[in-house]
A and B are shown apart, each in its own frame.
Chain A
Amino acid sequence: MSASFAFPPSFRRSVITIVVTAAVFAFAPLVAGSFALHVLTISFYFVILAASWNLLAGYTGQFSLAHHAFAAIGAYTSGLLGYHYGVPAWIGIPSGVVMAALFGVILGRLVLRMRAIYLAIATWAFAETVHIYLTADYQFTRGELGLSVKPLYGSVDPLPYYFTFLALTVLVLIGLRALIDSPIGYFMRAIKDDELRAKSLGIDTTRVKIAVFSISSAIAGLAGAFYGHFIVLLSPQMIDFSEMAKIVIMVVIGGFGTFLGPVIGAAPVQMVMTYLQKYGEWNLAIFALIVIVLMRFSMEGLASLFTPLWRNLWARHDA
């Protein structure tokens, strides 16, 4: 990391865009009812998960399928600390983040030498193991009975949670953008394109990969820990594989390996899924059909539609 490093001009533009968009969303409570706010809050949770997974899979090429497990590790750490030992959320949530990061370092270390398919399989096995553990050790985790967690703000009114998650999303997105535009971000992309070559150019690929794995796990843990204090009841359902499938689908529909992709992919997918819930058990079937048809006819992702728009918007500055 040379001392002369400066963020590219696109970094400032991205930050401005994120802040302006967030400011628009800050007015949403004026028009949206409490149910809409609830759905939006969950959408923000998934934006964070999708964006941090994209950092790992889309930018670094580590196609992990354990991201939902890290969110659950964060949520359960905070939840269990509160349930068994009465630990307050302001200690519980950071503990959840640390726990998720710790597991991230360990798993990242284990899958270090694997690429693509092997990494996906091994991380998937890890996630299912966490799932099985949470279900099996029900005396401690309460298993399928559900672990009740204290709400963060004493009530379940969605308004304060909405702003919490909005703020979290803004912070996480700016942080991710900074990371991607920093030297580490370039190392990440170099590793994805050709790991051997990156290594030969002097990049410490081991450190970068483990760092990215633990950062993205920590972000998932952070989102999960807050989420737990928002939905109030945790169950192993949180590590159901369909949650991971949802994250992957959000990112791919938005645009895999693009910064905008997970941000614009997550909310529509979550909203469509919420809307489809009125079809009862058929909702996932309809959703899956939509995804299959979308993938069958267009594989570029939504972000590709916005790229020319983005370029035009800033074209005058570049001229």
Chain B
Amino acid sequence: MFSTELVVQTFISGTMIGVLYALMALGITFIYSIMRMINWAMGEFYMIGSYLQYALVALLLGPDLWWLAIPISAAGVFLFGLVVQWSLLKPIFRKPPEARDDYATVVTLALLLLLRSLATGLAGPNQFSPGSDLPVVMVGPLPMAGARVAAFVFALVALVLFYLLLRYSWYGLALRATSQSRVGVQTAGIDVLGVDRIAFGIGVALAGLAGALLAPVFLVYPTNGLITTVKGFEIVVIGGLGSIPGALIAGVLLGLIESFGAAFIDSAYQNIYGFALVLLILALKPTGLLGERGREA
């Protein structure tokens, strides 16, 4: 039962799915570190990404161009994020910060309900599968589903691009500065609300990208973002809110725990092992692995 091959395979698949969960967590933590709010509708942006991917592959581009559909889906979610920030969130960020939290919470909660039922209303409660005709890939000596490997590679590319943007571009500098002090960047002449817009767009685009990449694996239906969002939030608690390396490490850790739990304990409870890890971390190190001090968020 505990063959080396199974252990290695579990390890690889856990790492792969972990990086995709990390994408989701990164979106949550990125929006939080710039805007100081939690976007509760994150899973719905994931859902939109997966629907876009399905629609593009099934209706427009055809299954051979799935790789082209992925950036288009992510870009679509990015644009939608800009619209949401502009129409719903920007007005409140002009007001004093006390009322912001309640408002942002209620509006994103309402957005969650709205987008879910729109998806049900427009496309029905059906499950779609964009299908993946990618062949099984040999990772070393082990066979892996092609769709998962492709998703992993795309996620890595996106993470590298995200890092380069933050680290080396002028806009990345503005984003990092905003996460340090919203007032400070304003004195430097940066349009904070404009930075918010881009940050919100990028954050939800990360979720949309995860949705597009995981569409062949976890299928496409109105509440498909839920499980991945739970994972994303768990990662944020494990890794520490506002920490990008924390999100990556915690993502892989969660992916590993989950696959090992599923392979060696019971796969029915796959989605619960992560919470056990959260409890463990909270008991041992309440600030998360790489979190801010004190958690006075």
Contact = CB atoms under 8 A, between A and B. Distances in A.
B275 A126 contact: yes
27 contacts: A110-B279, A110-B283, A113-B286, A118-B241, A121-B233, A122-B237, A124-B230, A124-B233, A129-B275, A136-B268, A136-B269, A137-B268, A248-B105, A248-B106, A249-B106, A249-B109, A280-B121, A281-B117, A281-B120, A281-B121, A285-B114, A285-B117, A289-B110, A292-B88, A292-B110, A295-B106, A299-B99
Interface residues of A, number: 42
A132 interface: yes
Which of A118, A129, A283 is the most central at the interface, judged by chain B CB atoms within 10 Å of its CB?
A: A118
B118 A285 contact: yes
A288 interface: yes
A245 interface: yes
Interface string A7-38: 00000000000000000000000000000000
A159 interface: no
A129 B121 CA distance: 27
Given A115-B296, A136-B268, A281-B120, A295 B233 contact: no
B234 interface: yes
Contacts of A113: 286, 295
B262 to A, nearest CB: 12
Contact of B237 (A121, A292, A299): A121
Contact of B233 (A63, A111, A125, A291): A125
A283 B117 contact: yes
A316 interface: no
Interface of A: 63, 110-111, 113-118, 120-122, 124-126, 128-129, 132-133, 136-137, 241-242, 245, 248-249, 252, 256, 280-285, 287-289, 291-292, 295-296, 299
B110 A288 contact: yes
A18 to B, nearest CB: 26
Contacts of A120: 38, 105
A285 B112 CA distance: 9
Given A241-B112, A248-B106, A121 B38 contact: yes
B134 interface: no
A133 to B, nearest CB: 6
B226 interface: yes
Contacts of A115: 295-297
A255 B241 CA distance: 29
Contact of B112 (A117, A133, A245): A245
A120 B105 CA distance: 10
Interface of B: 32, 38, 88, 91, 99, 101-103, 105-107, 109-114, 116-118, 120-121, 125, 226, 230, 233-234, 236-237, 241, 268-269, 271-272, 274-275, 278-279, 282-283, 286, 295-297
A24 B117 CA distance: 37
B43 to A, nearest CB: 9
Which of B102, B233, B237 is the most central at the interface, judged by chain A CB atoms within 10 Å of its CB?
A: B102
A248 B278 CA distance: 24
A284 B286 contact: no
Contacts of B236: 121
A211 to B, nearest CB: 20
A288 B103 CA distance: 14
Nearest to A279: B121
Contacts of A137: 268
A242 B113 contact: yes
A278 to B, nearest CB: 14
B230 to A, nearest CB: 5
Contacts of A118: 237, 241, 295, 297
Closest 10 CB pairs of A and B: A288-B114, A284-B117, A288-B113, A117-B297, A285-B117, A291-B110, A129-B275, A245-B109, A288-B110, A128-B230
A126 B279 CA distance: 9
Contact of B113 (A124, A125, A132, A245): A245
B170 to A, nearest CB: 29
A295 B112 contact: no
Contacts of A111: 282
Given A129-B275, A256-B102, A288-B110, 12 more contacts: A114-B286, A115-B296, A117-B297, A126-B275, A132-B269, A137-B268, A241-B112, A241-B226, A284-B114, A284-B117, A285-B118, A288-B117
Nearest to A112: B286
